[in-house]
């Protein structure tokens, strides 16, 4: 049995993660550290697998509600989702060969620039200005899926948030449409990785199942608020989550010295 106070923090954390993840991604910035804090002796594979199982329910719920409101092109989603899933799997092996003490500071600087850019350019993501060329869109979705899949496999937290930024900046979507695409692409990639976790039998269901329930409720409320309040609301959450991601990476960098 899980102690009451552990169960309480699990539920609250999963709810908040589901809410934030539904709006702009980045729920893993809450759920993964929370699991490490509450269960310090749990192997990291169990933590990542249980987090993935808990969050996929919320991701699917958010994707479903976004698709009721936002029109998407499933061909682009399939290409990005497939390459994200493949690259994420490959990234788990790449992680072993690239020193993270080199990779993370570079990523930290990059995210600082992205956050400042989004904060200073208040018009970004407010209006939709998609590319007209179908070939360019196919290429961009493939490239975005592959690059962020590698990031997901090597680093992880904030993948959904970076995906939203890429779709806004390079494809020309507004924040609402980018969030809708990001949720569906994330659902595909998460399902692929979760299948591998099931085969390895590393999901801790007594932790993951109650977290999934709370994550779904948070995701449902977050999606409703994002659709109701639109691009300005999502932009604000985007900046906040990017700051959380910077704090997480900054802390990881400090621990290496």
Exposure b/e, 49-65, CB count within 10 A at least 16 = b? bbbbbbbbbbbbbbbeb
What is the model's pLDDT at position 92? 63
| pLDDT averaged over every residue in the chain | 82
The pLDDT tens digits of the residues spanning 206-231 come to: 899 999 999 999 999 999 988 888 77
| Contact indicator for 157, 251 with CB cutoff of 8 Å | no
- Across the range 98-109, mean pLDDT stands at 67
What is the model's pLDDT at position 95? 58
What is the model's pLDDT at position 194? 81
**pLDDT interval class at 94 (50, 70, 90):** low
SS (H, E, C) 16-65: HHHHHHHHHCCCHHHHHHHHHHHCCCCCHHHHHHHHHHHHHHHHHHHHHH
Task: Name the more confident of 12 and 195.
Answer: 12
Which of 21-35, 74-88, 230-244: highest mean pLDDT?
74-88
Residue 96 has pLDDT above 60, yes or no: no
| Contact indicator for 157, 245 with CB cutoff of 8 Å | yes
DSSP assigned state of 169: I
The pLDDT tens digits of the residues spanning 18-69 come to: 998 888 777 877 888 788 878 888 887 788 888 889 988 898 999 888 888 8
**pLDDT interval class at 253 (50, 70, 90):** confident
What is the model's pLDDT at position 211? 93
Is the C-alpha dihedral spanning 12, 42, 212, 184 positive or negative? positive
Site of tokens 């993948």: 159
The pLDDT tens digits of the residues spanning 125-163 come to: 566 776 777 889 999 999 999 998 888 767 666 778 888
- Across the range 99-123, mean pLDDT stands at 70
Q: How far apart are CA 119 and CA 126, in angstroms?
A: 13
What is the model's pLDDT at position 145? 92
Task: Name the more confident of 100 and 143.
Answer: 143
Distance of alpha carbon 40 from its chain centroid, rounded? Answer: 23
The pLDDT tens digits of the residues spanning 163-210 come to: 888 998 888 898 889 889 998 888 887 787 788 788 888 889 989 999
Residue 80 has pLDDT above 90, yes or no: yes
């Amino acid at each position: 049995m899980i102690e009451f106070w552990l169960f309480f923090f699990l539920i609250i954390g999963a709810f908040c993660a589901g809410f934030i993840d539904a709006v702009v991604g980045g729920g893993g910035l809450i759920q993964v550290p929370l699991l490490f804090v509450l269960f310090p002796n749990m192997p990291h594979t169990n933590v990542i697998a249980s987090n993935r199982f808990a969050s996929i329910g919320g991701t699917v719920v958010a994707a479903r509600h976004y698709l009721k409101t936002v029109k998407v092109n499933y061909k682009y989603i399939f290409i990005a989702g497939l390459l994200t899933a493949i690259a994420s799997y490959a990234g788990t092996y790449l992680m072993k060969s690239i020193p993270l003490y080199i990779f993370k500071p570079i990523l930290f600087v990059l995210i600082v620039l992205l956050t400042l850019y989004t904060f200073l350019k208040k018009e970004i993501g407010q209006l939709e200005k998609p590319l007209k060329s179908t070939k360019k869109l196919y290429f961009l979705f493939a490239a975005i899926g592959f690059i962020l899949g590698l990031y997901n496999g090597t680093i992880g937290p904030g993948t959904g948030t970076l995906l939203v930024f890429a779709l806004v900046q390079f494809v020309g979507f507004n924040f609402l449409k980018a969030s809708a695409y990001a949720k569906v692409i994330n659902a595909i990639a998460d399902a692929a990785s979760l299948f591998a976790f099931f085969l390895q039998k590393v999901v801790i269901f007594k932790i993951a199942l109650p977290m999934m329930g709370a994550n779904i409720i948070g995701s449902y409320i977050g999606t409703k608020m994002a659709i109701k309040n639109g691009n300005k609301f999502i932009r604000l959450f985007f900046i906040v989550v990017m700051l959380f991601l910077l704090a997480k990476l900054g802390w990881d960098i400090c621990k290496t010295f």
